[in-house]
């Protein structure tokens, strides 16, 4: 109950500012927060990145182990994405099995990197039908100030770029860099009072009516989308967000 009162007050504050074309942190509607990416942050992981997007902070770790391929894809490695929204990161996160929110986060991140072919999974095959590399992409949220989708997606892309396949440790020859194909970058927008904002903060997410995430490739093509929350978009708003995502996605890609 108290949280709702706070949300109502914040909503008033946020929407009054939006009417004047402003956001609470002084950004433009189509402006990302400052992005800092630190790769190889975790020595025990095959690839890793610590991403700070404003005050949202996530660590993405990539681990590879040997295993069996799925029966229907005998020639490709296996990609598994998981997101841990741990209680440290926010008073709204609880420990325990993953809830719908963290499952959605993990699946949207997974869809971006899988459909965008971030990693050439066919090169992660050792013996067709018998042995492949299983790649775990684990997202650990340390500080949650909104927009986990993009922070984690950027972290995964950054981690792939520096990841090493630990072949030697597994007795499979020399180590080699993870075969990276593309950089599918996701950009998320929310709608508040009919206005479209990129890279929402936690406060903005809490009062948002609807959310839309678009992952784009360096070719300008689109590879994954997800609409969320109870609100709606018009067809024109969807087009506007898709175009914003292509433009800002290019800017983010240039920074990695």
Partner 1 sequence: MGGTPTDLKLIDENGRRLDGRLADDMRPLKIEAGVLSRADGSAYVEWGLNKVMAAVYGPRECHPRHLQNPERALVQCHYNMASFSVDDRKRPGPDRRSHEISKIISEALTNVVFTEYFPRTSIDVYIEVLQANAGTRCAGLTAASVALADAGVPMRDLVASCAAGKAANTMVVDLAKEEDNFGQADIPLGYVPRTGEIVLLQMDGDLTYDEFDKGLNMAVNACKKVYEIQRDALKRRYAARSVDAEMAAPVAGAVKEGM
- Which residues are at the interface with partner 1 (CB under 8 A)? 1, 4, 73, 98, 100-101, 103-104, 106-107, 111, 114-116, 212, 214, 217, 220-235, 238-239, 242-243, 246
Strand partners, 95: none
Q: How far is the CB of 45 from partner 1 (least distance, A)?
A: 22
Burial class for 93, CB neighbours closer than 10 Å (0-12, 13-18, 19+): middle
Phi, psi of 200 (to 5 degrees): -70, 145
Q: 44 or 219, CB closer to partner 1?
A: 219
Q: 168 or 239, CB closer to partner 1?
A: 239
What distance in Å separates the CA atoms of residue 63 and residue 137, rounded to the nearest whole number?
Answer: 7
What distance in Å separates the CA atoms of residue 210 and residue 230, rounded to the nearest whole number?
Answer: 6
Q: How far is the CB of 198 from partner 1 (least distance, A)?
A: 17
What distance in Å separates the CA atoms of residue 241 and residue 82, rounded to the nearest whole number?
Answer: 26
Q: 128 or 220, CB closer to partner 1?
A: 220
Q: How far is the CB of 197 from partner 1 (least distance, A)?
A: 18
Q: How far is the CB of 256 from partner 1 (least distance, A)?
A: 20
Q: 46 or 204, CB closer to partner 1?
A: 204
Q: 92 or 243, CB closer to partner 1?
A: 243
Q: How far is the CB of 238 from partner 1 (least distance, A)?
A: 6
Strand partners, 134: 65, 78
Please give the radius of gyration of the chain, using alpha carbons only, rounded to the nearest integer: 19
Strand partners, 213: 188, 226
Entry field: residues in the chain: 256
């Amino acid at each position: 109950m108290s949280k709702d009162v706070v949300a109502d007050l914040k909503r008033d504050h946020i929407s009054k500012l939006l009417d004047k074309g402003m956001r609470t942190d002084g950004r433009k509607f189509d402006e990302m927060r400052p992005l800092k990416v630190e790769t190889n942050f975790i020595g025990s992981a095959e690839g890793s990145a610590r991403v700070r997007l404003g005050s949202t902070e996530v660590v993405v770790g990539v681990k590879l182990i040997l295993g069996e391929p799925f029966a229907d894809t005998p020639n490709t490695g296996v990609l598994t994405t998981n997101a841990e929204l741990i209680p440290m990161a926010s008073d709204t996160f609880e420990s325990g099995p993953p809830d719908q929110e963290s499952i959605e986060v993990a699946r949207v991140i997974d869809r971006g990197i899988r459909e965008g072919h971030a990693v050439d999974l066919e090169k992660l095959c050792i013996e067709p039908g018998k042995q492949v590399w299983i790649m775990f992409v684990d997202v650990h949220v340390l500080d949650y100030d909104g927009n986990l989708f993009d922070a984690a997606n950027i972290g995964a892309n950054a981690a792939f770029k520096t990841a090493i396949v630990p072949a030697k440790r597994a007795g499979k020859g020399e180590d080699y860099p993870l075969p990276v194909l593309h950089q599918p970058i996701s950009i998320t927008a929310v709608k508040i009072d009919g206005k479209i904002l990129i890279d929402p903060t936690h406060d903005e997410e809490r009062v948002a009516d609807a959310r839309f995430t678009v992952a784009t490739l360096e070719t300008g093509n689109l590879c994954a989308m997800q609409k969320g929350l109870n609100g709606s978009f018009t067809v024109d708003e969807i087009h506007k967000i898709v175009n914003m995502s292509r433009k800002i996605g290019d800017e983010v890609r240039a920074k990695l």
